Structure 1
Amino acid sequence: MKSHIQTKTFPKAILWIVFLLGNIGVSANNLLVKSPNGKIMVNVLHSDYSGNGRWFLNVNYNENGKLTEAISAIDLGLILSDNISFDNIIFVKASKPILIRENYTMPHGKSSQRTNLGNEVVFTFQNQEKKKMEVILRVYNDGMAFRYSFSGKGNFTVQDELTAYTINNETARWTEKWNPANEGLYSAMAGDKTQQEEWGYPALFRTKENNCWFLLHESAVDGNYCGSKLSNKSDKDTYKITFPDPKDGRGKGESLPKITFPWKSPWRVIIIGNLNDIVASTLVDDVAPPSVIKNTDWIKPGAVSWNYWSDNHGTRDFKTVCAFADLAVAMNWPYTLLDWEWDAMGNGGNLENALKYIRSKGIKPLMWYNSGGDHTWVSSTPKDRMLTHENRVEEFSKLRKLGVAGVKVDFFESEKQDMIQYYIDILEDAAKFEMMVYFHGCLVPRGWARTYPNLMTYEAVRGAEWYNNGPEFTATAPVHNTILPFTRNVVGSMDYTPVTFTNSQFPHLTSYGHELALSVLFESALQHFVDRPEGYSDLPDAPRAFLKEVPTSWDETILLHGFPGKEAVLARRKSQKWYIGGINGENIEKNIKITFDFLEKNKKYKLRLIKDGKHDKQLVTDDMVIGNTDSVTVKELRRGGFAAVISPL
Structure 2
Amino acid sequence: MTPHLSSLPRRRCFDGLAHQRAPARALISFVAFATALVASAPAAEQAISSPDGKIVVAVSDTDGLRYRVSLDGAPVLVDSALGLDFEGGFSLGRATTIIRADRTEHDGTWENPFGQRRTVRDRYHELTLELKENANSPGRLNLIVRAYDEGVALRYELPVQPGLESYVVTNERTEFLFPADLTCWAGDYSECAENQYPEKRLTQLSANVAKPHVLPLLVQLPNGYAAIAESDLLDWAGMFVTAAGPQGDGKPRPGVKTTLAARKDWHALVVGRERRLSPWRVVQLARTAKDLIASDLIATLATPSQLTDTSWIKPGITAWDVWWTGINPTQPGFTGLNSRGDTRSHKEYIDFAAEMGFPYQLIDWFWYEPMNNPKADLTKPAAHVDIPGLVAYARERNVRLLLWLDSHDVERQGFDKVFAQIAAWGFAGVKIDFMNHDGQETVKWYADVLAAAARYKLMVDLHGAYKPTGLARTWPNYITQEGVLGNEYNKIPWKPGACSTLHTITLPFTRGLLGPMDFTPGGFLNRTPAEFKITQPAEVIGTRARQLAMTVVYFSPLLVLCDSPENYRGQPGVEFFRGLPTVWDDTVVLSATVAQHLVIARRSGDRWYLAAMNGDAPLTVNVPLDFLGKGEWKLRAFADTPESATTPTSIAETTTVVRAGAPLTLTLAPAGGYAAELSQLP
Counterpart of 1:589 in structure 2: which amino acid? P
Q: Given the alignment of the two structures, is residue 93 of structure 1 paired with residue 99 of structure 2, yes or no?
A: yes
Retained in 2: the 8 A contact 1:68–1:212?
no
**What is the alpha-carbon root mean square deviation over aligned residues?**
2.2
- SS for the counterpart of 1:396 is helix
- SS for the counterpart of 1:639 is coil
Q: 2:261 aligns with which of 218, 221, 244?
A: 244
Matches within 5 A, 1:98-497: 98-128=104-134, 129=136, 131-153=139-161, 154-190=165-201, 193-197=204-208, 198-207=212-221, 209=222, 211-223=223-235, 225-232=236-243, 234-235=245-246, 237-245=254-262, 255-273=268-286, 274-307=288-321, 308-311=323-326, 312=336, 313=338, 315-343=340-368, 350-372=386-408, 384=409, 386-387=410-411, 391-470=414-493, 472-474=495-497, 476-497=499-520
Match of 2:9 in 1: none
In structure 2, distance between residues paired with 1:145 and 1:453 = 23
Residue identity over aligned pairs, in percent, reads: 27
In structure 1, distance between residues paired with 2:676 and 2:90 = 58
Retained in 1: the 8 A contact 2:231–2:470?
yes
In structure 2, distance between residues paired with 1:414 and 1:179 = 9
Q: 2:627 aligns with which of 569, 574, 598?
A: 598
- SS for the counterpart of 1:88 is coil
| Deviation for aligned residue 1:634 | 1.3
Match of 1:28 in 2: 43
Give CA-to-partner distance per residue, 1:210-242, whole Å, 9 cap, x none. x2111111111112x111211116345231111
Retained in 1: the 8 A contact 2:40–2:101?
no
In structure 2, distance between residues paired with 1:416 and 1:181 = 11
Give CA-to-partner distance per residue, 1:163-186, whole Å, 9 cap, x none. 011123332111112211111111
Counterpart of 1:181 in structure 2: which amino acid? C
In structure 2, distance between residues paired with 1:26 and 1:478 = 55
- SS for the counterpart of 1:96 is strand
| Deviation for aligned residue 1:349 | 5.5
Retained in 1: the 8 A contact 2:293–2:589?
yes
Q: Which runs of 5+ in 1 are unaligned?
A: 1-18, 373-383
In structure 1, distance between residues paired with 2:513 and 2:551 = 16
Give CA-to-partner distance per residue, 1:387-437, whole Å, 9 cap, x none. 05x621111111112110001110012211111111111001001111100
**1:392/1:77 CA distance change after superposition, 3 Å:** same
Q: 2:615 aligns with which of 585, 599, 603?
A: 585
Retained in 2: the 8 A contact 1:70–1:212?
no
Retained in 2: the 8 A contact 1:25–1:32?
no
Counterpart of 2:232 in structure 1: which amino acid? A
Matches within 5 A, 1:512-523: 512-523=544-555
| Deviation for aligned residue 1:574 | 0.9
In structure 2, distance between residues paired with 1:500 and 1:347 = 30
In structure 2, distance between residues paired with 1:455 and 1:475 = 27
| Deviation for aligned residue 1:628 | 2.1
In structure 2, distance between residues paired with 1:368 and 1:282 = 30
| Deviation for aligned residue 1:471 | 6.6
| Deviation for aligned residue 1:278 | 1.9
Give CA-to-partner distance per residue, 1:428-469, whole Å, 9 cap, x none. 100111110010001111111111000011101110000000
Counterpart of 1:407 in structure 2: which amino acid? V
- SS for the counterpart of 2:500 is helix
**1:574/1:394 CA distance change after superposition, 3 Å:** same
Retained in 1: the 8 A contact 2:490–2:498?
no
In structure 1, distance between residues paired with 2:151 and 2:613 = 27
In structure 1, distance between residues paired with 2:233 and 2:566 = 42
In structure 1, distance between residues paired with 2:177 and 2:608 = 40
Retained in 1: the 8 A contact 2:118–2:586?
yes
Retained in 2: the 8 A contact 1:174–1:187?
yes
Retained in 2: the 8 A contact 1:314–1:342?
no
| Deviation for aligned residue 1:352 | 2.0
Q: Which runs of 5+ in 2 are unaligned?
A: 1-33, 247-251, 327-335, 370-380, 527-534
Match of 2:638 in 1: 610
| Deviation for aligned residue 1:146 | 0.7
**1:42/1:192 CA distance change after superposition, 3 Å:** closer
- SS for the counterpart of 2:159 is strand
Match of 2:373 in 1: none
Match of 1:7 in 2: none
| Deviation for aligned residue 1:254 | 5.5
Retained in 2: the 8 A contact 1:107–1:299?
no
Give CA-to-partner distance per residue, 1:328-360, whole Å, 9 cap, x none. 112211101111111257787522222222222
**1:572/1:132 CA distance change after superposition, 3 Å:** same
Match of 1:6 in 2: none
Q: TM-score, normalised by structure 1?
A: 0.87
Moved over 6 A (4+): 24-27, 345-348
In structure 2, distance between residues paired with 1:475 and 1:241 = 27
Match of 1:5 in 2: none
| Deviation for aligned residue 1:74 | 3.0
Q: 1:628 aligns with which of 628, 651, 660?
A: 660
Counterpart of 1:222 in structure 2: which amino acid? L
Counterpart of 2:352 in structure 1: which amino acid? L
Moved more, 252-261 or 118-127: 252-261
